[in-house]
Structure 1
Amino acid sequence: MVYLAHTAHPQYAAMWLGAVGWILTVVTTGLVEWRVWVVADVSVITSGMVWVGIWRVCFFSHILVSPELRVMFCQKMRLSDAFTPWEIAVAQVLMMVAAVLGLLASASVIYGLRNIFFGLDKKIHILVAFSLGGVLYLLTAVCSLIPLCLNFNSVVQNQTIAFPDIFHVPPAPVEQHVGGGIAVGISASIMMVTSGIVFLTYQFPLKMDYQIQSSWPAKPQDSNPVFALSSPLSLVCSKDRNKVCGGKDNLAFESQKHA
Structure 2
Amino acid sequence: MVYLAHTAHRQFLGLMAGVMAWILIMTTTGLNEWRLWYVADESVITSGVAWVGIWRACFYSHVLPRIENCQSIGISDPFAPAEIPVAQVLMVLALICGLVGNITAAVAVRMVYFSIENRRNIRLVFVLAGTLYVLTGTLSLVPLMWNMSSVLKNSTIGFPPEFHLPAAPVRQQVGSAIGVGIFASILMLISGALLLCYRYAWAALSTKAPRDTRDPLQGPWTETTLAQKSEFLDGTNQGRDNPAFHREEIS
The TM-score normalised by the length of structure 1 is 0.78
- 1:175-195, Cα deviation, whole Å (9 max, x unpaired): 000000000000100111000
SS in 2 for 1:123: coil
- Establish whether residue 115 from structure 1 lines up as the match of residue 111 from structure 2: yes
Structure 1: how far apart are the matches of 2:120 and 2:23?
A: 29
Q: Unpaired segments of 5 or more residues in structure 1?
A: 214-259
- The 5 A counterparts of 1:162-201 are 162-201=158-197
Unaligned runs of 5+ in 2: 206-221, 226-251
Name the structure 1 match of 2:35.
Answer: 35
1:129-208 alignment runs, 5 A limit: 129-208=125-204
- Among candidates 79, 85, 93, match of residue 83 of structure 1: 79
Looking at structure 1, the residues matched to 117 and 100 of structure 2 have their Cα atoms a distance apart, in angstroms, of: 23
Q: Structure 1 residue runs of 4+, over 4 Å off?
A: none
User: 2-side partners of 1:65 and 1:151: how far apart?
Assistant: 31
Corresponding residue pairs, total: 208
Q: Which residues in structure 2 correspond to 1:197-236 (within 5 Å)?
A: 197-208=193-204, 210-212=222-224
Q: CA-atom RMSD, angstroms?
A: 1.5
Shift of 1:65: 4.6
**CA 205–58 in structure 1, closer or farther in 2 if over 3 Å, else same:** same
Q: Does 1:26 align with 2:40?
A: no
Q: Secondary structure at the match of 2:95?
A: helix
1:4–1:119 Cα contact (<8 Å) kept:
no
Equivalents in 1 of 2:88, 2:59: separation in Å?
Answer: 21
Identify if the C-alpha distance between structure 1 residues 116 and 65 changes in structure 2 by more than 3 Å, giving closer, same or farther.
farther
Partners of 1:64 and 1:111 in 2: CA distance: 52
How many angstroms does 1:169 deviate by?
Answer: 0.4
CA distance in 2, matches of 1:164, 1:77: 11
Give the greater-gyration-radius structure (CA): 1
TM-score w.r.t. length of structure 2:
0.80
